[in-house]
Amino acid sequence: EAAVTQSPRNKVTVTGGNVTLSCRQTNSHNYMYWYRQDTGHGLRLIHYSYGAGNLQIGDVPDGYKATRTTQEDFFLLLELASPSQTSLYFCASSDARGANSDYTFGSGTRLLVI
Amino acid sequence: DAKTTQPDSMESTEGETVHLPCSHATISGNEYIYWYRQVPLQGPEYVTHGLQQNTTNSMAFLAIASDRKSSTLILPHVSLRDAAVYHCIPLTGANTGKLTFGHGTILRVHP
């Protein structure tokens, strides 16, 4: 079954720590996205990618790097984690440029920065 | 991007048919209307989408007004599993990745 799988499901790190969130999709989709969700803000786009080696900046990119190593794998990197990055992170994939294409979301990664 | 207006919340009882309205008066001709739903601590789930014609699938019926300034997501015979926040999202091809989730409508389903 086509899916988007995120790991880890939960992560705790200290301020200044280095964190990598992983996302793998088996949908054969070209597009992948990282969102964060916080109370009162809904989902906000961090970074996205059109394909392996491609990276596009989203709406809230500060403090985040991302890398798309293959069509299936998209990573979100927090090299100096801060408490403000405590959030619920979702990865998603889609198969076309926006319209007439549905997005498939992963189950999320809960990150706590203490 | 077109702005949308949805009621903050709606109440229903299991077995009822629920009509979730969305106003998108400034929608442009090339914007599709997407509906997603999300339960707490889970990723959003695609429900349906349409451009101009009404659409139907196993989850819902989407009724789009002839002027496209509003739409209604119709959920037949709701169950407790349909309790979620429902988001109406206009989307064009130029907005890849920019699924902008507002507050949506909280649908509560009572036994």
Give the pLDDT confidence of B96-111 residue by residue, as tens digits: 556 778 889 999 999 9
Check A98 against B41: CB less than 8 A apart: no
Of B44, B46, B92, which is closest to A99 when you measure between CB atoms? Answer: B92
Of B36, B41, B92, which is closest to A98 when you measure between CB atoms? Answer: B92
- The residue among A45, A55, A60 with the most chain B CBs within 10 A of its CB, best to mutate, is A45
User: Is any Cβ of chain A less than 8 angstroms from the Cβ of B31?
Assistant: yes
> Percent of chain A scored above 90 by pLDDT?
75
Q: HEC profile for chain B?
A: CCCCECCCEEEEECCCCEEEEEECCCCCCCCEEEEEEECCCCCCEEEEEECCCCEECCCCEEEECCCCCEEEEEECCCCHHHCEEEEEEEECHHHCCCCCCCCCEEEEEEC
> Percent of chain B scored above 70 by pLDDT?
92
Q: pLDDT per residue over B7-37, tens digit each?
A: 999 999 999 999 999 999 988 888 889 999 9
Check pLDDT > 60 for residue B77.
yes
- Which residues in chain A are closer than 8 Å to B39, comparing Cβ atoms? none
Tokens of A89: 């992170």
Q: pLDDT per residue over A20-45, tens digit each?
A: 999 999 988 888 999 999 987 778 89
Check pLDDT > 80 for residue B38.
yes
Size of interface A-B (CB pairs under 8 A): 69
What pLDDT is attached to residue A95? Answer: 79
Q: Which residue of A has its CA nearest to B50?
A: A100
pLDDT band of B91, cuts 50, 70, 90:
confident
Half-sphere exposure of B94 (CA within 13 A, CB side): 6
pLDDT band of A97, cuts 50, 70, 90:
low
